[in-house]
A and B are shown apart, each in its own frame.
Chain A
């Protein structure tokens, strides 16, 4: 479970998130939607400890992301929006690098299993620098889920992936225990796998509801998004 308590984050004079309160409960898939620059990626980076924040508190399964960062980070798997990795390492070397740092047992079997599932296994011994964007995304996805984290934070998880891999990842998320947080622009993905959705606008949460309730009220997440956006402009 991840709790974001009254968090504010600014980049110089620009306020990315203002007094945000969120709760990502276990056994739920929670989507975060919002326009470009709304603060979705920033929120995920704060929850993973990649970025500092100005005020407030974030806890991951009870561990403070700043004061107990090691314990908190052990509970997290993270897929960034842009999968930048060490280009001179091969995919296999990069995954073993992350597995070593995370001290994952049976990492070889896990890497083999996941990379076969998402269709990158045959390219593991090529340098990452020579990969296409989709291939990099697959390696990045593997690094995020191979330690079976309790809390999974995914920034545009299916962007750049082929339909088969996209479906495999969606199945993985559905069957996963713990909380999964997805920042995405795809209302279709939200409808398919999310239980709850947060809509953020200009650094503030303007909606939190169950996806089923939204579908009942508005017919689709996309319609709900436009409706709520118009109301708040």
Chain B
């Protein structure tokens, strides 16, 4: 009974333990960051409860943030544990009903999400209680927990129907999500639990055509583009082809534009929207520059740091290709890093969109800080990606890098603000800083190449 569920849970927990053994410092850092973040959130909650001011962030906003996070995580988890899980073919070929096996996968994913939810929420409540806040909110907690279950049901159904030849089956879920968006009331989400259970049950019954779903894509148009190139151009071309075909570049541009508009809007109206009137005079002045900083941070994380980490993290099973060909390590890294220039182009739309709100006078600073942050992101990410080569989608690594970068860029932002005050036209200084950073980037590539060699030579 529940053999498939047990296997998935065992595999997940062993994989986590294995990763912790392989990179203990990274995971220690990650755990510390998680606990720190939870305590910061708890303290902020305590602070706003104590000053007795209605914060402009409602419980509904928090509910839907949690809801969508679990929805997205479930879509990804179900994809990995069912749609693309060729190892599941063994249990699907036994005399156990296939629907039962897939239901067990669903149960395993539900248990994983519920465990994550309980672990984080209980830690948050403990942190809150340690500040002396009364944490008995049984009704709210139940609503949030049912919300997570609804998100898991919907996430599984979306995953099944998205990776299926019959994509029109997604329609009921899109209508439901549209309904949630329109109503914005957690109670309505809770009331739809029976509906989502019916839908996920029906989807599981019709899910076999989604298992190992793939379409045979012919690319005759691209045939003319194929030619012999030099090493760096060849690697550049491969990396950019994958970025293009995975449609990541579109999503980068979308992120840059939407972050530009969003942070620009908050730059102008963030004080009024987020800060209670009583506090506006004290901390409101800090917000505009904070939103500029956060906007750039989000854009470079998405368009620069994640792709540069993935340059090597994604080489999980294909590393043999790069290892057995007669090409120097630094050329491989140069080729891969050069593909990030295309990703950088997708970050540029951030500037004109945010400038609509900030005005033209800040454009010099914005351009400089975007380039500076982007290069800084690559300098940090590439050696770390090489160090942990093959550890695909290591969320802990991504989180740790983002935290390191946040600290570095925060300091940099303070220094740049000081420069702006001391020198009215610091363009030459900006150029010098960027040139120094390019030298550091070169050093980072060389170090990465050494790490790649050391990984090989250390044992011999």
A102: chain B residues at CB < 8 Å are: 325-326
Is A127 within 8 A of B216, CB to CB?
yes
Give the interface SS of chain A, mostly helix, strand, loop or mixed: mixed
Give the A-B pair count, Cβ closer than 8 A: 108
B407 within 8 A of A: no
**Cα of A80 to Cα of B325 in the assembled complex, Å:** 13
Tell me the B residues contacting A by CB distance below 8 Å.
Answer: 214-220, 222-223, 226-231, 233-235, 237-238, 241-242, 245-246, 317-321, 323-328, 455-460
**Would you list which residues of chain A between 141 and 177 have a CB under 8 Å from chain B?**
none
Q: Report the nearest A residue to B233, measured CB to CB.
A: A100
Q: Select one of A50, A72, A99, A104 contacting B323, CB under 8 A.
A: A50
Q: Report the nearest A residue to B245, measured CB to CB.
A: A88
Is B215 within 8 A of A88, CB to CB?
no
Given A84-B318, A88-B246, also A125-B459 (CB < 8 A): no
Q: Report the nearest B residue to A48, measured CB to CB.
A: B324
A92: chain B residues at CB < 8 Å are: 223, 226
Given A50-B320, A102-B325, also A90-B242 (CB < 8 A): no
**Would you list which residues of chain A between 62 and 80 have a CB under 8 Å from chain B?**
66, 69-74, 76, 78, 80
Given A52-B456, A80-B320, A100-B228, also A70-B217 (CB < 8 A): no
B455: chain A residues at CB < 8 Å are: 52
Q: Would you give 16 A-B contacts (Cβ < 8 Å), ordered by A?
A: A48-B323, A52-B457, A52-B460, A54-B460, A55-B460, A66-B460, A71-B326, A85-B318, A86-B238, A96-B226, A100-B230, A100-B231, A101-B325, A125-B219, A129-B214, A130-B215
A119 within 8 A of B: no
Is A100 within 8 A of B229, CB to CB?
yes
**Cα of A82 to Cα of B226 in the assembled complex, Å:** 26
Name, among A45, A74, A97, A127, the residue most crowded by chain B CB atoms within 10 Å (CB to CB): A97
Is B460 within 8 A of A98, CB to CB?
no
**Cα of A55 to Cα of B245 in the assembled complex, Å:** 43
A82: chain B residues at CB < 8 Å are: 317
Q: Nearest-CB distance from B457 to chain A (Å)?
A: 6
**Cα of A45 to Cα of B216 in the assembled complex, Å:** 31
Given A54-B459, A84-B318, A125-B220, also A130-B323 (CB < 8 A): no
A53: chain B residues at CB < 8 Å are: 459-460
Q: Select one of B222, B227, B231 contacting A90, CB under 8 A.
A: B222
B217: chain A residues at CB < 8 Å are: 126-127, 129-130
Is B220 within 8 A of A84, CB to CB?
no
Q: Select one of A50, A52, A71, A76 contacting B459, CB under 8 A.
A: A52
Is A130 within 8 A of B325, CB to CB?
no
Q: Nearest-CB distance from B236 to chain A (Å)?
A: 11
A21 within 8 A of B: no
B233: chain A residues at CB < 8 Å are: 100
B231: chain A residues at CB < 8 Å are: 100-101
**Cα of A159 to Cα of B234 in the assembled complex, Å:** 30
Given A96-B226, A107-B228, also A127-B458 (CB < 8 A): no
Is B234 within 8 A of A101, CB to CB?
yes
**Cα of A60 to Cα of B231 in the assembled complex, Å:** 23
Given A70-B326, A93-B226, A98-B321, also A127-B219 (CB < 8 A): yes
Is A70 within 8 A of B223, CB to CB?
no
A126: chain B residues at CB < 8 Å are: 216-219
**Cα of A82 to Cα of B316 in the assembled complex, Å:** 13
**Cα of A101 to Cα of B231 in the assembled complex, Å:** 5
Is B227 within 8 A of A96, CB to CB?
yes
A98: chain B residues at CB < 8 Å are: 321, 325
**Cα of A52 to Cα of B456 in the assembled complex, Å:** 5
Name, among A54, A89, A126, the residue most crowded by chain B CB atoms within 10 Å (CB to CB): A89
Q: Report the nearest A residue to B229, measured CB to CB.
A: A100
B242: chain A residues at CB < 8 Å are: 86, 88-89
A134 within 8 A of B: no
A178 within 8 A of B: no
Given A84-B318, A93-B226, A99-B228, also A66-B457 (CB < 8 A): yes
Q: Nearest-CB distance from A8 to chain B (Å)?
A: 10
Q: Report the nearest B residue to A144, measured CB to CB.
A: B324
Q: Report the nearest B residue to A65, measured CB to CB.
A: B460
Q: Select one of B226, B241, B327 contacting A70, CB under 8 A.
A: B327
A73: chain B residues at CB < 8 Å are: 324-326
A48: chain B residues at CB < 8 Å are: 323-324
Q: Report the nearest B residue to A45, measured CB to CB.
A: B320
A71: chain B residues at CB < 8 Å are: 326
**Cα of A96 to Cα of B235 in the assembled complex, Å:** 11
A88: chain B residues at CB < 8 Å are: 241-242, 245-246
Q: Report the nearest A residue to B329, measured CB to CB.
A: A69
Is B218 within 8 A of A125, CB to CB?
yes
Q: Report the nearest B residue to A90, measured CB to CB.
A: B219
**Would you list which residues of chain A between 85 and 133 have a CB under 8 Å from chain B?**
85-86, 88-90, 92-93, 96-104, 107, 125-127, 129-130
Q: Nearest-CB distance from A101 to chain B (Å)?
A: 5
**Cα of A89 to Cα of B326 in the assembled complex, Å:** 21
Name, among B235, B319, B326, B457, the residue most crowded by chain A CB atoms within 10 Å (CB to CB): B326
Q: Report the nearest A residue to B317, measured CB to CB.
A: A84
Q: Nearest-CB distance from B138 to chain A (Å)?
A: 49
A97: chain B residues at CB < 8 Å are: 234, 237-238
Is B223 within 8 A of A125, CB to CB?
yes
Is A89 within 8 A of B238, CB to CB?
yes
**Cα of A69 to Cα of B449 in the assembled complex, Å:** 14
B326: chain A residues at CB < 8 Å are: 69-74, 101-102
Is A52 within 8 A of B458, CB to CB?
yes
